[in-house]
Amino acid sequence: MTEGNFVDYLKVYASSGKGGGGSTHLHREKYITKGGPDGGDGGRGGHIIVRANPNLWTLFHLKFNKHFRAEHGGHGAKSRSTGKDGEDVYIEVPLGTIIRDGETQEILFEITSENTEQILLEGGKGGLGNWNFRSSTNQTPRYAQPGIDGKEGWFQLELKLLADVGLVGFPNAGKSTLLSVLTAAKPKIADYAFTTLKPNLGIVQYRDFQTFVIADIPGIIEGAAEGKGLGHRFLRHIERNSILLFLIPADSDNIEKEYEILINELRQHNPELLDKNRLLAISKSDMLDEELKEEIKKVLPKGIKTIFISSIAQQGLTELKDLLWKLLHE
């Protein structure tokens, strides 16, 4: 998936169908005088329904199709015939999508599991035909109910990626390279900062045909939670991850300080992120010999499991996958 095709936020307009009106028909048949009322009820208007689609990873398919209008209900007819219900319209979204009211920003619901369907807007109810209003004192009612109008409005769709592992690090820490080596994903890789402009997903193949999903978000810099850089916009994508994998390159001036900066940015964005399982990987460690690794181990952050890896030299990747799998199934 190219960066331009990744869409994680947009607004859509939806309008449910109007209910059909009831009928005021009076029965007419040969040899039957004063047949009385037999007007049927109107059909309901079509719903606007949001449906989960596990085959989607982004909201790109809605980028150029933002207006959804359901069909109106049919009017009632003679012989107490009910009008046709309006056809429902489905908006398919990937798992992890949040639907908000476009004006109040209130969260209406979230789509987090397969086979989930939520009615966004209910269609208008059909009106009652005159047959419903007959009585001993009003044997020939010549009126019926109109259908109830449908609802309409703007809604905000916001995607939070559902991944098992989220990669967290500064720009040029080697996140995209690691993703390209562990998975079949093809993220953009270059030797300058902010190469990754949009999140990338990849599926890691593990032993016995087991898999797990890993997500790479743009690099975080100090002050990201306050709006600096790109990371603050995409930090929400790691809110649903089970594990946070911190990547800090071996040539960093101060590994412990960089780790604390990353932790602080996550804390400012959402303190609950710090409750997740964490793992620290020292990337680009093919530049280190055993003596240097021992020196670095003395200044590593406390209280977090650390592993030395190299994506280019394929060092420590099997151990990394073993650690991630173990953490996922604790």
Q: Which residues are annotated as a binding site?
A: 169-176, 194-198, 216-219, 283-286, 310-312
3-state SS, one letter per residue, for 140-195: CCCCCCCCCCCCEEEEEEEECCCCCEEEEECCCCCHHHHHHHHCCCCCCCCCCCCC
Residue (of 218, 116, 133, 240) closest to 172 by Cα position: 218
Alpha helix locations (H) across the chain? 175-182, 231-234, 255-269, 290-297, 317-328
* Distance (Å, whole) CA 109 – CA 8: 16
Hey, is 111 helix, strand or coil? strand
The residue type found at 127 is: G
CB atoms within 10 A of CB 122: 18
Annotated binding site for GTP: 169-176, 194-198, 216-219, 283-286, 310-312
- CA–CA separation, 121 and 126 (whole Å): 15
List the one residue out of 246, 76, 66, 50 whose CA is nearest residue 145: 76
Query: Which residues define the annotated binding site for Mg(2+)?
Result: 176, 196
